[in-house]
A = this chain, B = another copy of it.
Amino acid sequence: MAIVSLEKLIEEFRKMPSVGVKSAERMAYYILGLDDEGTKSLVDAISNAHESIHTCKVCCNLTEGEKCGICDNPNRDGSVICVVEDPRDVAAFERTHEYKGVYHVLHGVISPMNGIGPDNIRIKELISRMADDSVNEVIMATNPTAEGEATAMYIARLLKPMGIKVSRLAYGIPVGSDLEYADEVTLTRALAGRNLL
């Protein structure tokens, strides 16, 4: 009665982040409805992405080449490094079209609860970039969570003795939000960081 290859497929989709049983089932039935070409297209996309994408040898961002497009761009300011947790964060900053410096992708945060220590993320690679005297400032842009905060502090303590300026993103109320719904911590930070008009 059970269709083994269907169960197996659903199980594979279940492993994906934010995919529950119902979604995995819908996705599996979608596969069954594909023609040969559609299936090949999906399978090839997975295999190609897996084979051709790796991390940039400089900033650890994802790339298909040896260096990523940002590190390879002579118009970017290599003296400022924005440190982020995840390649998706790079994409978020790039969408602002405001940041002209370069990045460093940690691929995670220090999280003792999950057994992730400083050696499990790309901190060593960041430190080695400081050998190049051209770096003036490192902007810690890890997430505003306990772990992101701790990771930013940890890295700042390593870099400051090397004479590097280390900064952190501003905390405050998000643009376009409603004060009524702002949480106390954010509001306190927004007050503390207020600017003169």
Binding site for B on A (CB under 8 A): 1-6, 8-9, 11-12, 15-19, 23, 25-32, 34, 36, 39, 41-43, 45-50, 52-53, 62-64, 68-70, 73, 86-88, 94
Q: Apart from A3-B64, A8-B48, A16-B26, what 9 extra A-B contacts exist at CB < 8 Å?
A: A5-B53, A6-B62, A9-B49, A12-B42, A29-B86, A31-B46, A31-B50, A32-B53, A39-B46
Residue of B nearest to A23 (CB): B18
Number of identical monomers bound together in the oligomeric complex? 2
14 chain-A/chain-B pairs, Cβ below 8 angstroms: A2-B69, A3-B53, A3-B63, A5-B45, A5-B53, A6-B53, A12-B42, A12-B45, A16-B30, A29-B86, A31-B49, A32-B49, A32-B53, A43-B46
Q: Enumerate the 4 nearest inter-chain pairs by beta-carbon distance, A residue then B residue, closest first.
A: A1-B69, A9-B49, A12-B45, A39-B50
Across-interface contacts of A11 in B (CB, < 8 A): 45
Across-interface contacts of A49 in B (CB, < 8 A): 5-6, 8-9, 28, 31-32
Q: In the bound complex, do residue B16 and residue A27 qualify as a contact, i.e. CB atoms below 8 Å apart?
A: yes
Q: How far is the CA of A9 from the CA of B47 in the complex (A)?
A: 9
Q: How far is the CA of A70 from the CA of B16 in the complex (A)?
A: 31
